[in-house]
Structure 1
């Protein structure tokens, strides 16, 4: 065999992180290097959730629950999410099967598919991560606009 292994995880590239609500609307998005651990992208996403206007009472700043896959199963990360006042629903690496998490995971998979529907995001053409992140944020805003406009009619 010649050349690098096709399953090598140390590859260059970008990874899109997205946090959505129960309906699949993207609340916050981010970009990281493809060879970094997924868990490092969770804290910035949770911190970036915008305040939600409500008719009565104070604005909600955080979700009630957070569903995540096994890549986010780190003890310190679980504790940090609990400190934020969010119930943790993260699959355990050694004990839980991925089948149960699939009931909730399809929502975020659909959200990422909506974002990749914009041709500019399917393959990264920009050299700078800031430009790619700007296009990703624009795609998230357009996705929210389209879904909310469709719900209003």
Structure 2
């Protein structure tokens, strides 16, 4: 039997530990030692995978309280740990020539936001209930490159250029870091000539389906990878519904999930 998905593996920990902020020495309560970061990360993964509430985190497993894990997740996100970890993992894939820069794919997915909060809005696909959108860009293999959280009523086309801008500069063994694909693929929701011109101005070829044209354009042969990545992303049950009122906490969990998916891509070819 495989290890539980919330157990922090050695390959994950050796990449995360150098990125964690150093702790200041405690003078007020010197006897009380803070919970080790690795155990707290296990608690965060325990919430992310089964999707339980923070207050229901079982302390008998040694993860600490849900509030401890919540605070540590908040602090690490503010310190940019998950963004830097994602860039480190992408650099590993790129150095091994496992990132497909020939094309990138963009799409979005809607989730309910039961508690409201920032980056929510009345969803046109859910009878006006509060919701959020996950806007995602992947490489040609489905590896997540960047993700943006918006309200559920935000049009997909408005996030096309921000997604391209959100792709980090990815290092390689030689030469300059790369962050720009040759082609970007999108469905009919991104059909707008004004945006096509702006993408071409960035020296990227837009391949976007036209509204009103019959299905069967052939783009699905390449675009299916982003749908698969959404399935991987929402395989983390905590992300199927947005429970966090604070947008930064939900974004932190999204970034962590992208890191875990990217790590799986590395493990699949090692």
2:243 aligns to what?
Answer: 125
* Larger Rg, first or second structure (1 or 2): 2
Greater CA deviation, 85-94 or 51-60?
A: 51-60
In the alignment, is residue 82 of structure 1 matched against residue 200 of structure 2? yes
What do residues 90-123 of structure 1 show as CA deviations (whole Å, max 9, x unaligned)?
Answer: 0011235355221112100001111101111011
In the TM superposition, what is the alpha-carbon distance from 1:35 to its structure 2 partner?
1.2
Whole-angstrom CA distance in 2 between matches of 1:74 and 1:24 = 24
Q: Given the two structures, how large is their TM-score scaled by the length of structure 2?
A: 0.51
In the alignment, is residue 34 of structure 1 matched against residue 152 of structure 2? yes
Whole-angstrom CA distance in 2 between matches of 1:75 and 1:91 = 11
Correspondent of 2:211 among 93, 114, 117:
93
| Gap runs ≥5 in structure 1 | 1-5
Whole-angstrom CA distance in 1 between matches of 2:126 and 2:233 = 26
Whole-angstrom CA distance in 1 between matches of 2:163 and 2:216 = 23
Residue 11 of structure 1 contacts residue 35 of structure 1 at CA under 8 Å; is this kept in 2? no
1:12 aligns to what?
Answer: 130
Whole-angstrom CA distance in 2 between matches of 1:48 and 1:87 = 18
Whole-angstrom CA distance in 2 between matches of 1:13 and 1:46 = 23
Q: Given the two structures, how large is their TM-score scaled by the length of structure 1?
A: 0.88
2:161 aligns to what?
Answer: 43
1:71 aligns to what?
Answer: 189
| Gap runs ≥5 in structure 2 | 1-123
Question: Helix, strand or coil: the match of 1:13?
Answer: strand
1:3 aligns to what?
Answer: none
Superposed structure 1 runs of 4+ greater than 6 Å apart: none
Greater CA deviation, 91-100 or 64-73?
A: 91-100
Correspondent of 2:141 among 10, 23, 33:
23
